[in-house]
Amino acid sequence: MAQTFESFKGKALIAMPHLKDPHFEQSVCYICQHDAEGALGFVINKPLHMLERDLLVDQHLEIPSSEFSRALINGGPMHTDRGFVIHNHSGQWHNTLAIGKNLFVTTSKEILRAIAQKEITDNYLIILGYAAWQPGQLENELCENDWLIGDIPKEFLFETPVEQRWSLAMQHLGIQHPFHLSDLSGHA
């Protein structure tokens, strides 16, 4: 019997408490692409020490000095020098990929310019780096009980404080005490 492929695009991976990899410990990772070739996602709850203003200034964009004080997000261990903006603004920027209903990821400098000029003032995350899985790797990690997978509301990406995203993602799945979870998985 042939096994059908199930895409997790648009889902969240929530790290199990026993996962101790420093890149993913207590992380929430939003999956933006998943097919037979592998998966790509962004950790959405690991702030960097770099602020949005630092990146905008580095890109030679003029901004008021007292603004853009939010931390950038460490999206994962791959290509940490590459920037991404997850947003729900349907502008016509180059290098934009739809990742869900009214949810996009953009890699062009144009969107940073729109942020600096305050054309976009909310509902975006600026992320450096990403997480990637080779074919079958994510499925194996799920079988090893490293991750829980589920839906999270889109507002969770933009409105939930970064430091609360892991515990609230667990609660969204109905888990009130994540550290009581077993690290063993069963297979029938």
Instruction: Tell me the per-residue pLDDT of 51-97, one tens digit each, with 9 for 90 and over.
Output: 999 999 999 998 876 789 999 999 999 999 999 999 998 878 889 98
Mean pLDDT of the chain: 89
Beta bridge partners of 42: 30
Per-residue pLDDT for 1 more than 50? no
Per-residue pLDDT for 47 more than 70? yes
Q: Between 186 and 64, whose confidence is greater?
A: 64
pLDDT score of 152: 87
pLDDT in tens, 136-177: 999 999 999 999 999 988 888 999 999 999 999 999 888 876
Whole-number Å distance between alpha carbons of 137 and 35: 12
pLDDT score of 187: 47
pLDDT score of 188: 46
Name the residue ranges covered by the structural domains of the chain.
Answer: 12-180
Count of C-beta atoms within a 10 Å radius of residue 90: 11
- 122: its two tokens: 């909310």
Confidence of residue 3 (pLDDT cuts 50, 70, 90): low
**Signed CA dihedral, 98, 103, 109, 114: sign only:** positive
pLDDT in tens, 93-142: 889 988 888 899 999 999 999 999 999 889 999 999 999 999 999 999 99
Query: In the block, which residue shows the tokens 């097919």?
Result: 35
pTM to 2 decimal places:
0.89
Q: Which CATH number fits domain 12-180: 3.40.1740.10, 1.10.10.10, 2.140.10.10, 3.40.50.720?
A: 3.40.1740.10
102: region left, alpha or beta (phi > 0 left; psi from -120 to 50 alpha):
left
Whole-number Å distance between alpha carbons of 28 and 74: 11
Whole-number Å distance between alpha carbons of 187 and 68: 47
